[in-house]
């Protein structure tokens, strides 16, 4: 046995023997195993592909036959539910219309390949038959076998759903697709014949040519009727005849996997042969190379010291988590830059070698020098100018280089943190600004106010404008939030244009904005600015093809006169804004101490109303409604009254607006509905009771259930309840409201349009909504004696109601002359003080009993 030689000696015989006896056979066995595994995997894949292709063809074959069913169902419905076909074929067939004029005859054979068109009358006889485009007598029960009576029975059931049926029958000894549908008028203006209608049948014979054609449409090769033994390759689908028997169709199954094997296995064999030859050549080359490696071992030993030095340098750098690597001398002049320096900064490394690190970084020289004295303690965050001129940010980590205790330089890494720095700046910005408009948000506004209010000098002021957009909610409801966002950005832009650089414009959220102004405390200046803002925000905003018009109301508060704290100043401006909205919107109001008192008074009245509803300090009065001819009472409108503890009996106009503003109209309306149904159920006559619905109630999810519960609980028929909805409320409603009204109407409840003529509803909307009554607003009735214009409007509204087949009630009739004019104009129902004032429930009961 030879002993190992030194670095320049030959390869050891033991290593060569190990390679030849162990490694070489293992490599050959591994190659053979890989080739066998590849062949087996290929066979498995081919079988899987064939199975998938078979499943796909079965799906497509079923789809092809189902498509013929669907097509014939649609086709038979188009002809059977045709008014002209019903007129000419139901009963005694009109052969001239059907066959001679080609309305239901030879064209179906020519255009759709229907072998037969048959009409079977209710007695089961074939009244009309066209076979292969020729008019000829046929007995349908002999021509079609395998379940014709069952198919006709299903067709008569399907007509209730405006549909036809189809199935497989036997015709001329071959399977046939047969579609059937009962002749119907289809909604046309055609006189219907008493008794059952005839049945129309289309027959599509599935002979060999027809099946081939159907299969080609879905890439099914040679679709055909299977014999009794069935296909050997597993292809086929079973179809059920109308009488319950089955037939089977088959086709030539695709075999892409087998084709794949025929192509790839020879190629694989050739590849195996080539790989074997290549392996033999490589192993010869490997044996020769192993001898050469022994020769180069001596050369590698010479480079070990240099490699150890390099490994030490890069070990230190790796510990510093490098991005691009740098190294300097003891004067901080760059002596090494890695290739990543070029990729990150765009600078060529050779341009910076020998130059101070400070020239690259945008940093104070004293700060950099102080960091280099102890660089291991903490990284240095700095910025630099990239080759493209952009400022980028980096985090430097470094270590000092010591030789024999003497400092010879520094080496370290620079990690690019530009995106991280920008992200932090973005987060900081978003925390202080509104993401949609870019304006400062509530948090930034509060910081700004606290800072500036604390630094107000003697004699200086700050003016705060609290702005709320009017009519903004319908923009989102009708045009969508994209339109609303566009308007909000436009509002922000216009506010910036009308303020000075030192002022702050902020968005609090929703449609609320705030403007903080310095050096503006004179009433004239504030008035001019507020009016300019209101005028600017009232100008239309363009969105796609729409012109959007909104408005604005402004509340104004001054510091330090009104408040010296940020929250208090915002509260004062908010109170002033509420007063501006209460004054009719589109205006501005300055805060005053009396506003607090009015606000507290409003809150007190709101609480009193809440208690009144909870403790039922309310009462329902009723105003009768009369027929204009004979003055017979035909109904009564429920009107709520409030027994106020200090102000006595309050009318609806004194507290209903407050209830609608605060949302108390929901429980109040619910209570009135139940009271009206309960009291109407005890009246001695079966007449209608009318209850007003607020627009807010239309958005109450419980409204429909409450109506049904009130009727059911009090045993009141739905026909005796009438719900009145103001015309203006319909302008803000949507498809969901229409569906709600239809569901209420399904309870038998009558619906009335209240205050008709004061809104802007179109004739189309009136036709769509299921209303029974139009109530003409009393503002028109009051003027018919003096104003020909009001009289003409009332006459037109009466004619409109008559044209829409709705009853018309005139409200607010207060004189005999008004009653006479309305009666002459054809108004059938009247209501007002001239006939009767609203009265308590017991008084109305006595009045009805006396009248009865």
Number of H helices, E strands in the chain: 31, 33
Kindly tell me if the per-residue pLDDT of 13 is higher than 60: no
For the residues 9-15, what does the mean pLDDT come to? Answer: 47
For the residues 540-546, what does the mean pLDDT come to? Answer: 89
pLDDT tens-digit readout, 773-799: 999 888 889 889 988 888 998 998 899
Structure tokens at 139: 């007995």
pLDDT tens-digit readout, 824-840: 999 999 999 999 999 99
For the residues 480-487, what does the mean pLDDT come to? Answer: 90
H-only helix segments in 218-303: 256-302
Structure tokens at 711: 């009727």
pLDDT tens-digit readout, 678-737: 999 999 999 999 999 988 888 888 999 999 999 999 999 999 999 998 866 665 556 778
Q: Which helix (H) or strand (E) holds 324?
A: strand 324-329
**Cα Rg of the chain (Å, integer):** 47
Phi, psi of 465 (to 5 degrees): -105, 120
Task: Enumerate long-range contacts of 573-576, CB under 8 Å, 24 or more apart.
Answer: 573/464, 573/465, 573/466, 573/514, 574/466, 575/599, 576/466
Phi, psi of 340 (to 5 degrees): -65, -20
Structure tokens at 415: 């990690």
Query: Which domains, ranges and CATH numbers included, belong to the chain?
Result: 72-247 (3.30.450), 307-423 (3.30.450.20), 438-591 (3.30.70.270), 618-851 (3.20.20.450)
Kindly tell me if the per-residue pLDDT of 849 is higher than 70: yes
Which are the contacts of 525, defined by CB distance < 8 A and separation ≥ 6?
none
Task: Enumerate long-range contacts of 539-544, CB under 8 Å, 24 or more apart.
Answer: 541/486, 541/487, 541/490, 543/479, 543/483, 543/486, 543/487, 544/483
pLDDT at site 474: 82
Kindly give the pairing relationship between strand 462-470 and strand 504-509.
unpaired
pLDDT at site 603: 74
Distances (CA, A) of 205 to 73, 103, 132, 150, 176: 15, 21, 10, 19, 4
Report the 10 Å Cβ neighbour count for 702. Answer: 11
Structure tokens at 200: 């129309």
Percent of the chain with pLDDT over 70: 89
pLDDT tens-digit readout, 410-469: 888 888 888 888 888 888 888 888 889 999 999 899 999 988 888 887 668 899 999 999
H-only helix segments in 19-100: 24-80, 83-89, 95
Which are the contacts of 451, defined by CB distance < 8 A and separation ≥ 6?
none
pLDDT at site 758: 61
Q: How far apart are CA 238 and CA 217, in angstroms?
A: 20
| Rounded (10°) angle between helices 665-680 and 593-615 | 30
Mean pLDDT estimate for the chain: 84
For the residues 659-687, what does the mean pLDDT come to? Answer: 91
pLDDT at site 12: 47
Overall size of the chain counted in residues: 852
Kindly give the pairing relationship between strand 750-756 and strand 773-776.
parallel
Kindly tell me if the per-residue pLDDT of 30 is higher than 50: yes
Q: How far apart are CA 678 and CA 684, in angstroms?
A: 13
Residue predicted with more confidence, 311 or 150: 150
User: At 718, is the secondary structure helix, strand, or coil?
Assistant: helix
Residue predicted with more confidence, 552 or 59: 552
pLDDT tens-digit readout, 106-146: 888 888 888 899 999 888 889 899 998 899 999 888 889 88
């Amino acid at each position: 046995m030879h002993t190992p030689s030194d670095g320049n000696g030959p390869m050891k015989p033991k290593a060569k023997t190990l390679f030849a006896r162990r490694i070489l056979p293992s490599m050959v066995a591994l190659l053979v195993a890989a080739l066998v595994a590849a062949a087996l995997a290929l066979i498995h894949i081919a079988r899987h592909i064939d199975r998938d292709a078979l499943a796909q063809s079965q799906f497509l074959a079923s789809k092809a036959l189902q498509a013929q069913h669907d097509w014939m169902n649609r086709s038979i419905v188009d002809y059977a539910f045709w008014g002209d076909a019903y007129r000419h074929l139901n009963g005694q067939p009109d052969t001239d219309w059907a066959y001679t004029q080609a309305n239901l005859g030879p064209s179906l054979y020519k255009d759709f390949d229907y072998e037969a068109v048959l009409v079977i009358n209710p007695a089961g006889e074939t009244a009309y038959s066209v076979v292969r485009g020729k008019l000829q007598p046929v007995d349908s029960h002999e021509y079609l076998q395998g379940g014709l009576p069952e198919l006709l029975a299903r067709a008569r059931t399907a007509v209730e759903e405006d549909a036809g049926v189809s199935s497989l029958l036997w015709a001329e000894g071959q399977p046939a697709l047969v579609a059937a549908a009962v002749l119907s008028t289809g909604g046309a203006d055609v006189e219907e014949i008493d008794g059952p209608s005839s049945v129309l049948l289309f027959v599509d014979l599935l002979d060999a040519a027809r099946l081939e054609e159907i299969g080609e449409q879905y890439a099914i090769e040679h679709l055909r009727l299977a014999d009794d033994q069935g296909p050997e390759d597993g292809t086929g689908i079973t179809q059920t005849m109308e009488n319950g028997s089955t037939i089977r169709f088959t086709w030539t199954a695709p075999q892409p996997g087998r084709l794949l094997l025929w192509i790839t296995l020879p190629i694989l064999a050739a590849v195996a042969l080539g790989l074997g030859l290549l392996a033999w050549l490589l192993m010869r080359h490997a044996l020769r190379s192993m001898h050469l490696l022994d020769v180069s071992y001596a050369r590698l030993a010479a480079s070990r010291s240099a490699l150890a030095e390099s490994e030490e340098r890069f070990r230190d750098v790796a510990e510093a988590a490098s991005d691009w690597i740098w190294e300097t001398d003891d004067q901080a002049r760059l002596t090494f830059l890695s290739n990543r320096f070029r990729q990150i900064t765009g600078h060529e490394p050779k341009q910076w070698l020998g130059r101070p690190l400070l020239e690259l970084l945008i940093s104070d020289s004293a700060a950099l020098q102080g960091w280099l004295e102890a660089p291991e303690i903490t990284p240095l965050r700095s910025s630099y100018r990239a080759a493209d001129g952009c400022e980028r940010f980096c985090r430097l980590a470094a270590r000092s280089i010591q030789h024999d205790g003497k400092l010879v330089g520094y080496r370290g890494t620079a990690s690019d943190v530009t995106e991280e720095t920008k992200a932090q700046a973005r987060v900081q910005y978003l925390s202080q600004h509104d993401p949609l408009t870019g304006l400062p948000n509530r948090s930034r506004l509060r910081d700004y106010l606290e800072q500036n209010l604390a630094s107000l000098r003697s004699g200086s002021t700050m003016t705060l404008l609290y702005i709320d957009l009017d009519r903004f909610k319908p923009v989102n409801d009708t045009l969508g939030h994209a339109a609303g966002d566009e308007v909000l950005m436009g509002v922000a832009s216009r506010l910036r244009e009308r303020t000075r650089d030192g002022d702050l414009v902020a968005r609090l959220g929703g449609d609320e904005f705030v403007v903080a102004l310095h050096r503006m405390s004179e009433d004239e200046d504030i008035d001019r600015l507020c009016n300019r803002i209101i005028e600017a925000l009232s100008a239309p905003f363009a969105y796609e093809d729409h012109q959007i018009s909104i408005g604005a109301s402004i509340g104004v508060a001054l510091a330090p006169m009104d408040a010296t704290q940020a929250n208090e100043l915002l509260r004062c401006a908010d109170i002033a804004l509420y007063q501006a909205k209460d004054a009719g919107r589109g205006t501005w109001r300055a805060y005053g101490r009396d506003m607090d008192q009015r606000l507290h008074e409003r809150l007190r009245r709101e609480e009193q109303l809440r208690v009144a509803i909870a403790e039922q300090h309310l009462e329902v009065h009723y105003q009768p409604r009369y027929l204009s001819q004979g003055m017979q009472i035909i109904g009564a409108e429920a009107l709520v009254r409030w027994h106020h503890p200090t102000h006595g009996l309050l009318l609806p106009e004194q507290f209903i607006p407050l209830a609608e503003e605060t949302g108390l109209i929901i429980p109040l309306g619910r209570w009135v509905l139940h009271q009206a149904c309960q009291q109407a159920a005890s009246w001695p006559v079966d007449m209608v009771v009318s209850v007003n619905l607020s627009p807010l109630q239309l958005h109450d999810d419980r409204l429909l259930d409450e109506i049904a519960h009130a009727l059911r609980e009090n045993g009141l028929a739905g026909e005796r309840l009438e719900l009145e909805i103001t015309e203006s409320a319909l302008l803000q409603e949507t498809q969901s409201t229409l569906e709600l009204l239809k569901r209420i109407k399904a309870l038998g409840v009558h619906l009335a349009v209240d205050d008709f003529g004061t809104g802007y509803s179109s004739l189309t909307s009136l036709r769509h909504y299921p209303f029974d009554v139009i109530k003409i607003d009393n503002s028109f009735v009051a003027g018919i004696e003096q104003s020909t214009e009001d009289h003409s409007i009332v006459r037109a509204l009466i004619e409109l109601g008559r044209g829409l087949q709705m009853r018309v009630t005139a409200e607010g009739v207060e004189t005999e002359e008004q009653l006479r004019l309305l009666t002459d104009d054809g108004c059938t129902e009247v209501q007002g003080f001239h006939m009767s004032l609203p009265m308590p429930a017991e008084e109305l009961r006595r009045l009805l009993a006396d009248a009865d």
